[in-house]
């Protein structure tokens, strides 16, 4: 197999970054559609159905998060493999931490919304 050139490696890194961004957008879509669907169909959801929705949402979130982690690890391998790239790219620690915190906060909040009682919603302080 041929060695990667710096140009090819940079292109792969940018493709992975675009894929991570796409994964995040997919997760946001899943999250907001889950919230809207549970609020719109609140009267139709039984206890069992709420747990099934929660399980499905958690599985979808885990799939998108693990895919993003895989792509980030791929970027790290590319940078470490190609000489000269380590000086061009530093690890995106702040961005990675921000994505992870947003994933955790979004997942927690969505699961809370799925299981929230309707009385809690109506009696919320304004």
User: For residue range 52-67, what is the model confidence (pLDDT) as tens digits?
Assistant: 999 999 999 999 999 9
CA distance 38 to 53: 9
Buried b (16+ CB within 10 A) or exposed e, 57-83: beeebeebbebbeebbebbeebbeebe
Average pLDDT over residues 86-109: 84
Let me know if residue 46 belongs to a domain: yes
Let me know if residue 122 belongs to a domain: no
Let me know if residue 37 belongs to a domain: yes
User: 85 falls in which pLDDT band (50, 70, 90)?
Assistant: low
Q: Which pTM value belongs to this model?
A: 0.80
User: 94 falls in which pLDDT band (50, 70, 90)?
Assistant: confident
State the chain's mean pLDDT as an integer.
Answer: 86
Share of the chain above pLDDT 70, in %: 87
Place of tokens 């559609």: 33
Looking at the structure of the chain, the number of domains it has is 1
pLDDT of 119 > 70? The answer is no
Give 9 or 121, the one with higher predicted confidence.
9
User: What does the pLDDT read at residue 1?
Assistant: 43
CA neighbor of 90 nearest in space, from 99, 104, 103, 80: 80
Is the C-alpha dihedral spanning 8, 21, 51, 48 positive or negative? negative
Let me know if residue 78 belongs to a domain: yes
Domain region containing 75 = 6-115
CA distance 61 to 24: 10
């Amino acid at each position: 197999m041929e060695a990667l050139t710096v140009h090819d490696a940079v292109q792969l890194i940018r493709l992975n970054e675009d894929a991570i961004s796409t994964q995040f957008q997919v997760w946001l879509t899943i999250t907001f559609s889950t919230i809207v669907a549970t609020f719109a169909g609140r009267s139709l959801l039984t206890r069992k159905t709420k747990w099934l929705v929660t399980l499905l949402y958690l599985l979808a979130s885990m799939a998108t998060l693990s895919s993003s982690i895989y792509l980030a690890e791929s970027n790290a391998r590319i940078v470490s493999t190609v000489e000269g790239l380590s000086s061009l790219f530093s690890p995106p620690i702040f961005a990675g931490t921000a994505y992870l915190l947003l994933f955790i906060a979004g997942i927690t909040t969505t699961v809370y919304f799925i299981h929230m009682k309707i009385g809690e919603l109506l009696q919320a302080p304004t």
